[in-house]
A = this chain, B = another copy of it.
Amino acid sequence: VSDHDEIRDLITGWTAAVRDHDLDAVTAQHDPDIVMFDVPPPYRGVRGIDEYRESWGPFFEWLRQGAVFEIDELDVVAGTDVAFAYALLRCGTPADFDATPDIRLRITIGLRKREGRWVVTHEHHSFPMA
């Protein structure tokens, strides 16, 4: 499997784990020192795997109310030892898409290769400001 395909599978599997509300699978390939710029505050971001794990609780609650979290478009740039990827996701409730059909969540992911394995060390999630 190429690095490109391995990272694509990692990200696709991560979105499936989010949909399953499976926190251990969501965090399985994440660095202890991950820095995540999340959709909600704080401005400084979510720092470290404990804060990262905690951040998913409210999101899983929201998904249970009928929201989707599906990759629409994914680009992977894989180097020898560092990689990044950026994606557009359908992320919202049916009411959100009725109001704004083209709404998309933007995600950028930064990865490092450690002992032959790709690890997520940075995530940036956002919606544009209207």
Instruction: Report the nearest B residue to A78, measured CB to CB.
Output: B82
Asked whether, in the complex, the Cβ of B78 is within 8 Å of the Cβ of A43, the reply is: no
Q: Which residues of chain B come closer than 8 Å to A42, judged between CB atoms?
A: 102, 128
Contact code string A94-117 (vs B, CB < 8 Å = 1, else 0): 000000001110101010100000
A129 and B124 alpha carbons, distance in the complex (Å): 13
Copies in the complex: 2
Q: Give residues of chain A (15-51) contacting chain B, Cβ–Cβ below 8 Å.
A: 35, 37-45
Bound-state CA distance A35–B76 (Å) is 12
A2 at the interface (CB under 8 A from B): no
How far apart are the CA atoms of A39 and B43 in the complex, in Å? 14
> Which B residues lie within 8 Å of A130 (CB)?
40-41
Contact of A126 among B78, B102, B126 (CB under 8 A): B126
Chain A residues with a Cβ under 8 A of chain B? 35, 37-45, 75, 77-84, 86, 88, 102-104, 106, 108, 110, 112, 121-122, 124, 126-130
List 20 additional contacts besides A37-B106, A40-B129, A79-B83; criterion CB under 8 Å.
Answer: A40-B128, A40-B130, A42-B128, A43-B88, A43-B102, A43-B128, A45-B88, A78-B82, A79-B82, A80-B80, A80-B82, A82-B82, A82-B83, A82-B84, A84-B84, A86-B122, A86-B124, A108-B124, A126-B127, A127-B129
